[in-house]
Chain A
Amino acid sequence: MIYLQLFLSFLQIGMFSFGGGYAAMPFIQDQVVNLHHWLSLSEFTDLITISQMTPGPIAVNSATFVGLKIAGFLGAVVATLGCILPSCFIVSILAYIYRKYHKLTMLQTILASLRPAVVAMIASAGVSILVSCFWPKGFSFSLSDIHLSSIFIFIIAFVLLHYKKINPILVMVFSGFLEVIFYYGAKLFL
């Protein structure tokens, strides 16, 4: 029963991958490549590349990709369901508890200790993205390794977002086009 296998396998991925995104990757690899041989290692690498280039969480993307390849459209649906089902239950229960009790002083004190860490973790993800974007070949102090157009785009995007309050998705799409314009502009004029 391939559908059941897909479902159970992605159920485990959904249940045990904490921390999202890249934390889930080794776990997905273990299930999909090592255990069930649904993908070869190079196909798995392709999947990661595709995931980076398309929107959506890596776990959901792999569920769709693996499901489609192994058992067609229905397989993709079953695998995706499996990977989001644990979230549905656990997160809904936590959200319910939060709504019911968040006014308690006790829980407020605990949440007050957690909030700064949440900001820090978002900041950390942001810095990682920016470092890999500004130094595509890895961090160094040499000026020639810095991707200048990215820094320029970053500054423009930040000003548009933070001071002009422009819609973030528009800003992101605009940033993409700026890079295209810079690249071909530089080719034309330099």
Chain B
Amino acid sequence: MKEKKEVLWKLFISNLYLSAFTFGGGYVIVSLMKKKFVDELHWIEEQEMLDLIAIAQSSPGAIAVNGAIVVGYKLAGIVGVFISILATILPPFVFLSVISFFYTAFSQNMIIQLLLKGMQAGVGAVICSVVFDMGKGIIHSRNVSSILIMIISFCITYFLNINVIFVVITCILIGILRVLYSFKGGKKI
């Protein structure tokens, strides 16, 4: 019982902390979650984390909230879901309530603008580091179709700006085709 309480507490604090410092959208928080729960706490494996992220981004709603839900569910069931959601929405709720009162002063402050600009470069580095780890796993698998899917998906989302949901659906269809093919006695592709 004590252990469960500890997991919940750690889950709450981790999500609160990640949410409070995550500037710049869903993929940033997802990258940070990977660093926290996979690399630091070792509560989730890397492959599984990728699956959870896939669930988070193919469902409707904010990726940060969805990410918190899947991680919470994985670690502590429905109670974990509520704890995670609360921790994730509390910081933006407080920040926004406070900032909407003195927005002009805030947005024109030089130091705040510089801080944000610098943090943007830091955020880019966090995402790059996570992509390096995960991309390395895929390339080392030496599975040609996985590598192709990775490259093509990148081009489609980055250069063509196509909504990620279509990429997700297409990949699921490719997966289903692979399943059907293996049923027909073909080799695994």
Contact = CB atoms under 8 A, between A and B. Distances in A.
Interface in B54-82: 54-66, 69-70, 73-74, 78, 81
Given A57-B63, A92-B73, A109-B178, A20 B57 contact: yes
Given A126-B127, A172-B122, A176-B119, A64 B93 contact: yes
Interface residues on A, range: 35 or more
Interface in B17-54: 17-28, 30-32, 35, 39, 47-48, 50-54
Given A55-B21, A64-B93, A87-B60, A95 B55 contact: yes
Contact of A112 (B74, B107, B119, B175): B175
Given A95-B74, A129-B24, A54 B99 contact: yes
Contacts of A168: 31-32, 35, 126, 129
A80 B48 CA distance: 29
A117 B125 contact: no
A120 B154 contact: yes
B55 A153 contact: no
Contact of B117 (A110, A127, A133, A173): A133
A118 interface: yes
Given A54-B92, A169-B17, A127 B158 contact: yes
Given A54-B23, A116-B149, A116-B153, 4 more contacts: A56-B95, A102-B51, A113-B146, A175-B123
18 contacts: A21-B25, A53-B106, A68-B96, A76-B97, A88-B81, A90-B60, A91-B56, A98-B55, A116-B147, A117-B54, A118-B53, A120-B151, A126-B127, A162-B132, A169-B18, A169-B21, A177-B115, A180-B118
The 7 closest A-B pairs by CB, nearest first: A56-B92, A179-B118, A175-B122, A110-B175, A57-B62, A126-B127, A87-B61
